[in-house]
Amino acid sequence: MAASCLSCCANCWPRESGRVRSAASAEPCPAQSRRAICCGGFGLLCVSTTTTVLGPPRLLVAGAGIGGLALALAAARAGWQVQVCERAEQLGEVGAGVQLGPNATRVLQALGVWKALQPFTTVPQRVRVRHGGGGHSLAVLPLAEAATARWGSPYVSVHRADLHRVLLQTAQSHPMVQIETDAAVLDWMGGETGVVQKAGVAVRTTAGTLTGDALVLADGVASSLRLRALPAEPAPVATGHVAFRAVLPMAALPDGLERDGVTAWLAPRMHVVHYPIRGGDFLNIAAFVEVPVTDRERWPLHASSWDDAPTEALALREAVAPLCQPLQALVAAVPRWAQWPLRARPPVSSALQLAPEGIGPVALLGDAAHPMLPYLAQGAAMALEDAAELGRQLGQVTQHSRAVARERWQAVPLALQAYAQARAARVGRVQAASWRNGRIFHAAGLVAWGRDTALRWAGPRLMANDWLYGA
């Protein structure tokens, strides 16, 4: 058996396979100079103390959503072998439209998926903010060519399913990426405090046990693994905000509504956003309503995912009843809505929330790390940025083809820590800005008057978000 940094010892497969088999079928490890570290039922991880030519490092990813697939591509481009484990039996993405600002499209270009995605995108001409009560325009921010000229990358809208499909197809065609469905990650072990050396990670899934050099948790806002990584942190809390979504054919859109840009209608305790998708053939509509405490018993505030069972959203219709006629007509034109109570966490305040200590070479990405309210349209963008940054840091591990195994296992945790340090302040700021936007959008009384006045006088400057979209 050829020597390798993570190989067959007592009941482990060779490093090249990455899977664990039974002790009865395994040969004793011939490398007398190695130290075996018991992994408590996962198999044994062997640490080689000799210099050897190592194969590509291996990354295990929990979750095949937008963030997990983007990371798979970024890591593969950095020279890693990637195994993505997805709990669902079939791959696909629920949801409707998503806005991709220049910071997101810049990542998609770097990942090599932009050319394939571009035919499915729509370029909004502008963002317009309207008063929900009076219907009048408060401010306009030009997009299209102006966005590309200002931020160096386009601002587009796309159906979430189209984005996911393009990422999936690109990942499936990459020789360094393997995606396994019906394989929920259950637990892991590796690099805990007290172990002589950080020897990668062994991951137990419903489909078997895998070994790798690092594990990334990208299993979404309802992550079942985050508690294992960060046991002291509470679960996401209900915000009291409920989101409604729908996709309406443009042919069914009432007269007098813009079809070629992003429009945000602001009203007390609620707002509505709509924009074109799929080449302008459909309008994506999202409405967000704050629920009074006295009314919350009739809202599913503790649901963990979109309720795709059709609903007439009578409460939404009640909420827009005192607002302007065009907004009422838009809501009335939608026959069925999906709804979801929004949950969130406080903004990230420490890099340890993205790469915790003492649990092995493990990091968190996307909504599993930093779920945020959708009031800055940055959920998908932050996951893509996470993937790009983590890919850059993992690339540092693969710069040299020859290394001592212990050097790799020292380099991998450092790469994860560098990723966390690079991302923590950024995602925390975006989370905080999303919370703040929600308060501004839903303001009433004098606060709403001040908001409207500021938008009239300095709307484009206030809306530009150069700190967010800039390179």
pLDDT > 50? residue 50: no
- Parse the chain into domains and list their residue ranges: 237-345+443-469
Residue 62 near residue 219, CB atoms below 8 Å: yes
Which is it for strands 362-364 and 214-217: parallel, antiparallel or unpaired? parallel
Tell me the two tokens of residue 314: 């009578």
pLDDT of residue 311: 58
* C-alpha of 193 from chain center: 29
Looking at the chain, the number of H-run helices and the number of E-run strands are 12, 22
Residue pLDDT, tens place only, 431-440: 999 999 999 9
What's the whole-number mean pLDDT along residues 81-94? 87
What's the whole-number mean pLDDT along residues 404-420? 84
* C-alpha of 324 from chain center: 35
Residue pLDDT, tens place only, 132-170: 999 999 999 999 999 999 999 999 999 999 999 999 999
pLDDT > 80? residue 292: no
- Read off the DSSP letter of residue 356: -
User: Could you give the angle at which helices 66-77 and 160-172 cross, rounded to 10 degrees?
Assistant: 30
Tell me the pLDDT band of 47, cut-offs 50, 70 and 90: very low
pLDDT > 80? residue 127: yes
Alpha-carbon distance 323 to 130, whole Å?
12
**CA-to-CA separations, 59 to 76, 85, 308, 360, in angstroms, rounded:** 9, 11, 33, 13
Average pLDDT value over all residues in the chain: 84
pLDDT > 70? residue 31: no
What's the whole-number mean pLDDT along residues 259-271? 97
pLDDT of residue 344: 86
**Topology classification of domain 237-345+443-469:** D-Amino Acid Oxidase; Chain A, domain 2 (3.30.9)
Tell me the two tokens of residue 139: 């401010």
